[in-house]
Amino acid sequence: MFETGVRQLRMAWSILRGVPISPGNLERLIEDARATLREFGAPGEDVEQLIDGPFADPDMRRHLQDTSLRRTVKRAARLSPYYREVLAARSINPAAVTTQSIESLPLTGKSDVLSRTTDFITDGSRPFLSTRSTGTTGQPVTIWMSRYEAELWPAVAALAGLLRGEIIEGDSMQVNVSSRATAAVQQNVNVCRLAGATCHVLGLIPARDSVINLAGPFPPTLLATYPSYLAEMVQAASRMGLGPSDFRLRRIDCGGEVLSTPLAAAAAETFGAPVTDIFAMTEVLPVSGRTCSHGHLHHDLNTGFVEVVDPATGLGVGPGELGSVTITPYFPYRECMPLLRYDTRDMVIRLAEDDVACELAGMPATSAILGKADQLAMLQGRPVTPRQIVEVIDSLAPISGPARFGLEQAGGQTVLRLPGSTPWGLDDDALRDRLARAGLAVRVERSSQPQDRPSGRKVRADLREITFTSQEP
């Protein structure tokens, strides 16, 4: 117990002082947590504090955020060629940056990282592993991580997962994410290693094969995937006549896309496990978000600073307003390729803190992700989000596969373009009526070719791994 206390103090000291956190010390804390869970069944509150932090008090939260922001911006101004240039051009004093003044910093966009990738890598760092975004919203972004980050991020995630019961010794995780998401795959593998779980990395193979593995002789208890691929798995399981008694899942984590309420319910009914909507993004690792029982999205406050801003101005939006999630990962969690005020383009509604009364009320919250800023359309002066369309389409037939559609303005109207093979049994008039009842008076156009897929909104289930795995004739 004394040794555990020393390790906790070492980690807390690193966080408060802003010096690199020892991955080895963190791994030993994970071993201590596993031993404690085996003996007592629950972690101590002192260990949980290391993960969730003392953020219930607004003044303490602001002090810790100001300190972490200044440290991160000062380091970026000193070591990042890109930010050294940008901050100097605006005469920004890194030592004066706070949560109140951070809006003086420009947003960092995907195009900035694409055009000047190497300038974001800090002087003296040693890039070890590159990872890429999936490219479903345009050209993929390459993010480099150091060996320190490759060891630290899974250790932080494993400790948090163990203490929250999200992963336990003896679990088995099936990973159905794109192979190009190197960081996500290696993180899942190493989280399982550290937590004493096993891991099945399958990628985006034919959904039928993934379902067969779920029901196989070594059945997984955890599933990590994208909502669109989960929809294909639900469809495949239904065609195979399989239900909850055929699986051993206890948790399904989905991220990277809009997860609709009907799809989550259909997957829970099919696989016999609750579906959790999480936030994770290659560009802003290791910052992540989790959904509470009220459906709010809460971002991790220890590892980064999160804002909700108007993407056109970079200024924060008020409670109840629509804005883009913007994230600054903190040093010492982010070392090799820092990003300041990275505009994720993920649109949410900012929630007033007084309106949040869930089990995570000490952490600021937003709505669930509503879709990408570039995929919004306007209807009678109001924005229409991809989530609104997905919720309606998935309510028609949640086991019919991913919601594929395009949403655009044409001839002064909002047009919903659908593939010609939509299997809902509704003609265009009935579909328009269903959409209108949801407040979406749009024009519906179907492709003349059954296999055509509308442009505009890509789904990650289409990032197929070209393999010989299929067991279908």
Residues 240-257: pLDDT tens digits? 999 999 999 999 999 999
More confident residue, 270 or 356: 270
How many Å apart are CA 327 and CA 311, to the nearest integer? Answer: 13
Assess whether 187 and 58 both reside in one domain: yes
Instruction: Say what percent of the chain tops pLDDT 70.
Output: 88
**432, part of any domain:** yes
More confident residue, 173 or 21: 173
Would the pLDDT of 216 be above 90? yes
- CATH number assigned to the domain comprising residue 57: 3.40.50.12780
**227 CB contacts (<8 Å, ≥6 apart)?**
254, 256, 257, 258, 259, 260, 263, 402
**59, part of any domain:** yes
Longest pairwise C-alpha distance within the chain = 71
What pLDDT sits at residue 448? 67
Assess whether 395 and 338 both reside in one domain: no
What pLDDT sits at residue 2? 45
48-71 as b/e, with b when 16 or more CB fall inside 10 Å?
A: bebbbbebeeeeebeebbbebbbb
**151, part of any domain:** yes
Would the pLDDT of 82 be above 70? yes
Count of domains in the chain? 2
Q: Of 349, 368, 387, which closes a domain?
A: 368
**Which range marks the domain in which residue 1 is found?**
1-201+280-368
Q: What integer is the mean pLDDT of 120-129?
A: 96
How many Å apart are CA 151 and CA 244, to the nearest integer? Answer: 36
Assess whether 390 and 309 both reside in one domain: no
On whether the CB atoms of residues 146 and 137 are closer than 8 A, the answer is no
Assess whether 316 and 381 both reside in one domain: no
Q: What integer is the mean pLDDT of 103-123?
A: 97
Q: Which of 43-47, 348-352, 455-459 has the lowest mean pLDDT?
A: 43-47
Assess whether 56 and 114 both reside in one domain: yes
Question: How many CB atoms sit inside 10 A of residue 101's CB?
Answer: 13
- CATH number assigned to the domain comprising residue 400: 3.30.300
Would the pLDDT of 182 be above 60? yes
- The first and second tokens of residue 54, run together, are 């003392």
Assess whether 70 and 166 both reside in one domain: yes
How many Å apart are CA 74 and CA 79, to the nearest integer? Answer: 9
Would the pLDDT of 422 be above 80? no
